[in-house]
Chains A and B, each alone.
Chain A
Amino acid sequence: MRNLLDFILKNSHSFLFILLEVLCLVLLFRFNNYQGSVYFTSANRFCGFVYETTSQVTGYFHLKAINDSLTERNIKAEQELVALRRQVMELSGDTVKFDSLTATVLQGFNLIKAHVVNNSLNRADNYLTIDCGSSDGLLPEMGVVNGLGVVGIVDKTASHHALVISLLNSKSNVSCKIKGREYFGYLRWDGKDSRFSWLRDLPRHAVCHKGDTIVTSGYSAIFPEGIMVGTVDKVLDSNDGLSYLVRVKLAVDFGRLNDVRIIFRKGMEEQQQLEKEIQ
């Protein structure tokens, strides 16, 4: 007994080492299954405060580039609007019809404004921290977009900050389709280049060309149909040869995210509560 105690005391650092490493691995592998773990993320109050302060400074650095791309998109959208308005006018000769058309696109969806305070690009699983939380009405599983396209999905929420799974994360699956052709697949990142992601499971008979636009399919409750994701960059065969694998140039530049919007459907809370009760 005495020898045993001596042995343990003499090697206490080795036992402590094993104990701490086991603790680390438990934390590492259980982190994502545990909703309460938001306090161990950058969305907790203190980290959120630190990142918010720094992003108030660094937010100015990319402002010019962000402004340029928004202006460009605005001009494009305005030209499209003028063309469409003219077409609707020609077809129906009625302006009331047009107003009711625009109202139906985002019908039933709400937007909340937020700032990205922390962001990563080069890990296998990337997350964003935003300065909105449950006190602003955020819930896990809400979609996050910016002016250019889809950014990610809310994962965990603290009272004033939230953790968002970015598209650049092996855990993010977004159902997407080719605009105008309705063939759909799911988008998942491969951990390499932050400018590109991969659309998988696109059927063999689908028609797909370089430059085609990829948008959300609207099959899940998270994103409404038709939000920009990116453009087709390269079409390859999947490993099993049963479907296409499409390299998608992402519309959002994850290197300089600043303003984002959280998008959610009215009645989403009710649906989630119902689903929870069923489980």
Chain B
Amino acid sequence: MLSSLQHILWVVGLVLIQAVFFNHIHIGGYATPFVYVWLILILNKNINRNILLLWGFGIGLLIDIFSNTLGMHAAATTLLAYVRPFILSLFVSHDSQEDFSPGVRVMGIGRFTGYVGIGVLLHHIVLLSLDAFSLFYWHILLAKIFSCALLTVLCILFIEFMRKGK
């Protein structure tokens, strides 16, 4: 269970780490992990959808301001926040009314990886397409989307296991 205060601390910490560290990783010239999407993915399952959208927009905007891409991350993260309930319902049975935050501990590694994978891929397709808007190198775009998504999912799983280990 994540309280709001705890989540705000995570947001501040992870946005700063994203800005000063993850944004400067370019493995092979392509792959940059956008680990901050984890902040949207782990919000409580039964959270009000409007509040979820505002979280997505706010976090995206913060990342944008740090990386001079105004609107780009915000658009992708807002979309992720909008579709998150649909993705989550694919991996969690409908009748489970219990209140929980998605994570390895509650969902199991297989289902959690599937949930994170689809969410991250969707987010990255929007984000990197907007970034490449004026360029037409579709093969570079595809390489970027898949390499970034793979790296992001690995980083998110790493964070999850670090937390689980505590």
Complex contact A191–B50 (CB within 8 A): no
CB within 8 A of B68: which of A121, A124, A163, A193? A163
Any B CB within 8 A of the CB of A274: no
* Interface 1/0 per residue, A106-127 and B, CB below 8 Å: 0000000000000111111001
Complex contact B65–A124 (CB within 8 A): no
Q: Across the interface, which residues of A come within 8 angstroms of B52, CB to CB? A: 13
Which chain A residue lies CB-closest to B32?
A: A122
Complex contact A16–B50 (CB within 8 A): yes
Complex contact B67–A170 (CB within 8 A): no
Among A35-43, A225-233, A240-248, the one that faces the other chain is A35-43
Q: Across the interface, which residues of B come within 8 angstroms of A29, CB to CB? A: 71
Any A CB within 8 A of the CB of B154: no
Cα–Cα distance between A21 and B56 once the two chains are bound (Å)? 11
Complex contact A123–B131 (CB within 8 A): yes
Among A46-54, A144-152, A211-219, A262-270, the one that faces the other chain is A46-54
Complex contact A124–B132 (CB within 8 A): yes
Cα–Cα distance between A23 and B70 once the two chains are bound (Å)? 11
Interface residue tally for chain B (C-beta within 8 Å) = 39
Which chain A residue lies CB-closest to B140?
A: A192
Interface residue tally for chain A (C-beta within 8 Å) = 39
Q: Across the interface, which residues of B come within 8 angstroms of A25, CB to CB? A: 71, 75
Complex contact B71–A27 (CB within 8 A): yes
User: Most chain-A Cβ atoms within 10 A of its Cβ — which of B56, B66, B140?
Assistant: B66
Q: Across the interface, which residues of B come within 8 angstroms of A191, CB to CB? A: 132, 135, 137, 140
Complex contact A16–B53 (CB within 8 A): yes
Complex contact B67–A120 (CB within 8 A): yes
Q: Across the interface, which residues of B come within 8 angstroms of A17, CB to CB? A: 53, 78-79, 82
Complex contact B67–A40 (CB within 8 A): no
Q: Across the interface, which residues of B come within 8 angstroms of A170, CB to CB? A: 134-135
Q: Across the interface, which residues of A come within 8 angstroms of B160, CB to CB? A: none
Complex contact B132–A24 (CB within 8 A): no
Interface residues of B in 41-83 (CB under 8 A from A): 49-50, 52-54, 56-57, 60, 64-72, 74-75, 78-79, 82
**Contacts A17-B53, A50-B20 hold; do A24 and B78 have CB atoms under 8 A apart?**
yes
Beyond A40-B64, A193-B29, 5 additional contacts (C-beta under 8 Å) are A41-B65, A47-B65, A51-B19, A120-B68, A122-B32
Interface residues of A (CB under 8 A from B): 12-14, 16-17, 20-21, 23-29, 31, 37, 40-42, 44, 47, 50-51, 54, 119-124, 127, 129, 163, 170, 190-194
For this complex, 27 residue pairs linking A to B, each with C-beta atoms less than 8 Å apart, are A13-B82, A17-B53, A17-B82, A20-B53, A21-B75, A21-B78, A23-B74, A24-B60, A24-B74, A25-B71, A25-B75, A26-B71, A27-B70, A28-B70, A29-B71, A31-B71, A37-B70, A41-B68, A42-B65, A47-B65, A54-B20, A123-B69, A124-B133, A129-B68, A170-B135, A191-B140, A193-B29
